[in-house]
Structure 1
């Protein structure tokens, strides 16, 4: 069976690839090479495989070229889209900055209005106390006048009785006439004094009614001032309270910390106390004290806001190049924690302190390059890395918005940018928590 199959296979090969001989002739000898059907088949198969490989390789290269062109076009489109998005974000950031500036101006105007209203409130309260004192004096005078009038009436009745008793006797002397004349003059004088007392009393009552009307008008005005002050306090304190809570900072602890550093008392923020006779405070006094407490809280919030990193370290045009959290390391390609945010701008862009504090480091540190560390209140520290130039020294006290250095590319970097960190109790937190929390206030 195998022999037959081999014979048929050989015959088939002989049909398509007949045996051939290649003669090689020289001057003295003639040789030939015998090309059997199997050899020809092997050569043909090898040539066909080589041609097929060339065709496939050419097709792959062509497809890869076409695909690379499409990928480059897609990359360019993505880049244009990304650039448009960055421009839109830059416009939104500028708009937010303008809104923050307008909010700050409104906040300052509200503080000025509150100060004016507080002065008007204190002056109106003083006027009210003066009017109350005047009414008390008038009422006391009126009571004394009424008592004197009653006394005069009693004396007049006694004199009339004595005159009647004298008229029933037999007194005929000149002395009795003189006494009657004296009594008549006394009665006339007493009647005139009585009329004057009555007129004075009526005038006092009219004055008292007028003063009562003035007090009512003044109380209505005070109520209007109180209401405007309460509304202004609500508008001013609520955004600050929301800002601290959004940043994860407990307001009670923040206020207690600020109070420990600003514990002096006195001045316009001292609680009102108008009574000197041990009386209970009036509703207006309680209302005014609540407003003063809110104003004190607003002032403490203002102090605390300057001591926490709610500002932006870069005021010039920039773009975010890396967020807080795990990311692909630009140097090694591995996954690594990024403990801050990166702001990219031109070389030498000014950098600013985001809160009041004390510089604890200003120099070179491995990986960070030229680095500035600032210690703030509430256990908060900020770091500004990869600077090209340092403008503060260790131990120097800085204020929010103070120029502390210039953007650069020192240390472990791939380009010019600022690496900005916020640490609370030594632990890195997302700086955008503080920056975003202050968007509606500053």
Structure 2
């Protein structure tokens, strides 16, 4: 029975891959090369593996292109939303000027309202202290009062500047928070999981969740209180995401060129398909290597296949690995700052030339370092 099955299998293979002849001619000399069933079968297997690898690589490239396109669309939508808000604000301000110019209300009441709004604005502006560019963007307009202006016109001018400031505060906080959320998405992380943790801003802006309650606390109208709360919420998210981003490996270990990316590739030693769990960078011997985030050195030494290796624990389940180093400049247990030199590029371990093998791990699983570096590039553009 086994012999019959073997004969049947052979006949099936020979039917799919009959013997073919390849004729090579050199002048009058003609040579024939026979391609047997086994050799054709081997060629077919190699072709299938190569096609599969091509499909996987093409899929990864298409996924990266789609991710970048979505990121660009998110920035465009945020910009369009900001422009619509500004246009709506201008329309409301024009209406308010006309209404207030025609009012017969008391100047004292209007002045009191402006003073209350000014106190609330002072609270909001103090929250933006330390935010890059916020001081210039949120600077009050210089008063341009003339001798012929009435007190009503002066109060109107102050109120319009207050409207401009709260609108700018909303835009600054929303834009910064949205860019940070985009950076986390580029890294494949859920921004909500990081903005929900960490200390809040505190005070009435956080404690008073109801608009009416916040308006009562700040002693301003409800509409103005809602806008203040919106700016405060975005600013709170921005600061929490910014604090989280400072501890994640978003920066580049070196500015050297990439020679091999994360994913399936042919092993340079046995030429078989294998998962490459990191990203390789090539540069001259002893090129400095830098920490991509602050953390604690958890390992310094030789690992099988990796050669001289440095591993850093960044907390929150993140770890980075730097392999094939020629030398190391840190020790286990040492606290590392962002951008600190940890070693020099080499070719130790299972290596075919001078390069850095860089890995990013999250909760025990290898991640694509390119996504984290794209997130870091997004943060650098924001700065």
Summarize the alignment of residues 214-233 of structure 1 with structure 2, pairs less than 5 Å apart: 214-233=154-173
CA–CA separation in structure 2 for the residues paired with 1:338 and 1:227: 49
CA–CA separation in structure 1 for the residues paired with 2:187 and 2:353: 30
What residue in structure 1 maps to residue 67 of structure 2?
none
250, 253, 259: which one pairs with 1:310?
Answer: 250
What residue in structure 2 maps to residue 29 of structure 1?
none
CA–CA separation in structure 1 for the residues paired with 2:137 and 2:263: 48
CA–CA separation in structure 2 for the residues paired with 1:267 and 1:314: 45
Matched, 1:256 2:276: no
TM-aligned CA distance change 1:266 to 1:366, over 3 Å: farther
Displacement of 1:115: 3.7
Matched, 1:294 2:234: yes
CA–CA separation in structure 1 for the residues paired with 2:290 and 2:156: 55
CA–CA separation in structure 2 for the residues paired with 1:114 and 1:361: 41
Displacement of 1:423: 1.1
What residue in structure 2 maps to residue 404 of structure 1?
342
Displacement of 1:309: 1.3
Displacement of 1:387: 0.7
SS state of the match for residue 290, structure 1?
helix
Q: Deviations over 1:37-96 (max 9, x none)?
A: xxxxxxxxxxxxxxxx9x859x99xxxxxxxxxxxxxxxxxxxxxxxxxxxxxxxxxxxx
Report the structure number with the largest CA radius of gyration: 1
CA–CA separation in structure 1 for the residues paired with 2:206 and 2:322: 39
SS state of the match for residue 377, structure 2?
coil
Displacement of 1:111: 3.2
Displacement of 1:439: 2.7
CA–CA separation in structure 2 for the residues paired with 1:241 and 1:290: 17
Stretch of structure 1 that moved more, 387-396 or 293-302: 293-302
TM-aligned CA distance change 1:287 to 1:253, over 3 Å: same
Summarize the alignment of residues 161-310 of structure 1 with structure 2, pairs less than 5 Å apart: 213-257=153-197, 259=198, 262=199, 265=202, 282-310=222-250
What residue in structure 2 maps to residue 344 of structure 1?
282
Q: Deviations over 1:7-46 (max 9, x none)?
A: xxxxxxxxxxxxxxxxxxxxxxxxxxxxxxxxxxxxxxxx
Displacement of 1:410: 1.1
SS state of the match for residue 280, structure 2?
strand
SS state of the match for residue 313, structure 1?
coil
SS state of the match for residue 374, structure 1?
strand
Displacement of 1:253: 0.8
SS state of the match for residue 229, structure 2?
helix
CA–CA separation in structure 1 for the residues paired with 2:217 and 2:289: 60
Aligned residues of 2:250 and 2:376 also touching (Cα < 8 A)? yes
Aligned residues of 2:289 and 2:344 also touching (Cα < 8 A)? yes
Summarize the alignment of residues 40-439 of structure 1 with structure 2, pairs less than 5 Å apart: 56=29, 111-115=131-135, 213-257=153-197, 259=198, 262=199, 265=202, 282-315=222-255, 318-439=256-377
Aligned residues of 1:312 and 1:354 also touching (Cα < 8 A)? yes
TM-aligned CA distance change 1:270 to 1:431, over 3 Å: same
CA–CA separation in structure 2 for the residues paired with 1:288 and 1:282: 10
Displacement of 1:369: 0.9
Displacement of 1:354: 1.0
| Structure 2 gap segments, 5+ residues each | 1-25, 33-127, 144-148
TM-aligned CA distance change 1:109 to 1:293, over 3 Å: closer
TM-aligned CA distance change 1:212 to 1:264, over 3 Å: closer
Displacement of 1:237: 2.0
TM-aligned CA distance change 1:292 to 1:276, over 3 Å: closer
SS state of the match for residue 131, structure 2?
helix
Displacement of 1:420: 0.4
CA–CA separation in structure 2 for the residues paired with 1:275 and 1:406: 58
Displacement of 1:110: 10
TM-score, normalized by length of structure 2?
0.57
- Matched length: 251
TM-aligned CA distance change 1:306 to 1:333, over 3 Å: same
SS state of the match for residue 438, structure 1?
helix
